Amino acid sequence: MLKKIIELLGGEFRIESKLGEGSVFSFSVVVRKSEQNQITPKSYQLTWKDIKDMGTVFPLRILLAEDNDLNLQLMTFMFQQLGFQFEVAKNGAEVLDKVKQQQFDVILMDVQMPVMNGLEATREIRKMEGTDQMIIIGLSANVFEEDQKKAIESGMNDYLTKPIRLAALADKLEFYFRKVREKAE
In a shared domain, residues 10 and 81: no
In a shared domain, residues 89 and 173: yes
Arithmetic mean of pLDDT, 110-123:
92
CA distance from start to end of the chain: 45
CATH number, domain of 111, equals: 3.40.50.2300
In a shared domain, residues 86 and 21: no
Give the pLDDT confidence of 11-54 residue by residue, as tens digits. 777 888 888 888 888 877 666 555 555 544 444 454 545 555 55
- Count of structural domains within the chain: 2
In a shared domain, residues 85 and 145: yes
Q: Is residue 133, in this structure, part of any structural domain at all?
A: yes
Q: Domain range spanning residue 95?
A: 46-184
By the 8 A CB rule, do 5 and 17 touch?
A: no
- Report the pLDDT value the prediction gives residue 185, as an integer from 0 to 100: 61
Q: Is residue 81, in this structure, part of any structural domain at all?
A: yes
The whole-angstrom separation of Cα 89 and Cα 154 is: 19
